[in-house]
Amino acid sequence: MEETKIKMADIIAPHFYDIHDDIRNHRYTFYWEEGGRGSTKSSHISVEIPFLLMSNPECHAVVLRKVGNTIKNSVYPQMQWAIDRLGLTNEFRFKTSPHEITFKETGQKILFMGVDDPQKIKSIKLPFGYVGIVWFEELDQFSGMEEIRSLNQSLLRGGSQYWEFCSFNPPKSQNSWVNEEKLLDDADRIVHHTD
């Protein structure tokens, strides 16, 4: 695991070093990362997920997009890139129908799902353990906190600790639910801005 920590410092941008330390020490459950294109927020999160899986052998991860058919050209290749950058490609098995990545040593899974079919989320079956890591990519495309809470009720249960990542471009409208929600105090959430 020490080798992975060293590689993390080489892979993630310096403005994520502090947040990586927060994630590693589980200072928060909810990590909101906002930034424009090129801010490397998705690259950062995608590198954190395999690192967390390897450190928490009972955890599985679920990566969500609002629309399922966006997975094959966005979060799935992003996760492949991250695993390759960590030098771990041979440690994982990659499947595209459905999109899924498995850590060979333990059988832990990274599942990819669109929320346009919420029944699939409710019926996730895992070989062991629990969903301990969730990534909402393009958070602002989801309908609001009610939808996020509902998904969390289906996903974040049965485990001892969780990490939830939400990445998004700052919405232009100040009335956007994301812009309003990120201003609310939540002792278990950090909002990290990059540009």
Q: In what order do the strands lie in the sheet with 30-35?
A: 92-96, 99-103, 108-114, 59-65, 130-137, 163-168, 30-35, 189-194
Q: How far apart are CA 138 and CA 154, in angstroms?
A: 20
Average pLDDT over residues 85-109: 96
Give me the sign of the Cα torsion angle 131, 133, 134, 135: negative
Task: Give the pair of three-digit tokens for residue 53.
Answer: 């899986």
Catalytic residue, candidates 33, 34, 48, 138: 138
Which residue's entry shows tokens 């499947």?
A: 95
pLDDT tens-digit map of 118-149: 777 888 889 999 999 999 999 999 999 999 99
Q: Is 137 a catalytic residue?
A: no
How confident is the model over 26-79, as pLDDT tens digits? 999 999 999 988 899 999 999 999 999 999 999 999 999 999 999 999 999 999
Residue 61 three-state SS: strand
pTM of the shown model: 0.93
Contact 132, 59 (CB under 8 A): yes
